[in-house]
Amino acid sequence: MPPEDIQRRCITPSVLYPGTPVVLMTTLNDDGSANISPLSSFWALGDRVVLGIGEQGQGCSNLLARGECVLNFADATQATQVEAIARATARTPVPDSKRDMGYVHVRDKFALGGFSRVESVLVAPPAIAECPLQVEVALLASHRPSGTEDQGFMIVEGRICRVHAHEAITIAGTQHIDVQRWAPLIYLFRHYVGTTTPVARNFRADDPAPAAA
């Protein structure tokens, strides 16, 4: 379509979630049990990750108190399990604002979502065994959003300490993720979507190029 024919308009969306991965953040509660907090406000560059985490959630308190988490990336088959824990918070009592949104206190989200714990190597919180990509993270810094108004969330910077990948999504004998087989679960304007086969390759992609047909 010629650019002059493209129609556009100004909108005010209630959220701006254009499509980011569903991350299940595991942290340790005060009593040493493990919690799972679904997140989608995530990006990574180099050995750093940045998260946006609501201060009323238990995961935020746990991360700030103990300085460690594991970011477990759900795959496209796990949407039902993620949604099963979506209304649950490990915080008790449940803050009024969360209760009004329908949240309830659940102590064991592993049981609720049908997930299993697997030990981490460099951090205390366990990873989620069923998530194909698990990233151990150490907290480096956190601050409230800049500006005047308290928006109720923290911007958190962490250092990637260790990455675990299921063999099934790696290219054997290399450090690469097989993008033909890794299908992350994407959070898209509060809907869950999977991804299809890759449509193109960036000029800096360094995994082995598929053989020409």
Interacting residues toward ligand FMN by CB under 6 A: 22, 35, 37-41, 52-54, 57-59, 82, 86, 89-91, 103, 153, 187
User: Toward ligand FMN, which CB reaches closer, 35 or 72?
Assistant: 35
Q: Give Cβ neighbours of residue 120 (< 8 Å, ≥ 6 apart).
A: 70, 126, 127, 134, 136, 162
Tally the residues of the chain. Answer: 213
User: What residue type is assigned to position 113 of the chain?
Assistant: G
User: Toward ligand FMN, which CB reaches closer, 80 or 174?
Assistant: 80
Instruction: Please state the φ and ψ torsions of residue 49, each to the nearest 5 degrees.
Output: -125, 150
Q: Are 39 and 74 in contact (CB under 8 A)?
A: no
CB of 96 to ligand FMN, least distance (A): 14
What's the distance, CA 83 to chain centroid?
13
Question: Rounded CA gap, 87 and 106, in Å?
Answer: 9
CB of 68 to ligand FMN, least distance (A): 15
CB of 212 to ligand FMN, least distance (A): 39
Q: Residue 61: which H helix or E strand, with range?
A: helix 58-66
User: Toward ligand FMN, which CB reaches closer, 37 or 134?
Assistant: 37
Residue 110: closest CA among 29, 168, 195: 29
Residue 57: closest CA among 37, 83, 27: 37
CB of 211 to ligand FMN, least distance (A): 37
CB of 52 to ligand FMN, least distance (A): 5
User: Toward ligand FMN, which CB reaches closer, 124 or 171?
Assistant: 124
User: Toward ligand FMN, which CB reaches closer, 122 or 188?
Assistant: 188
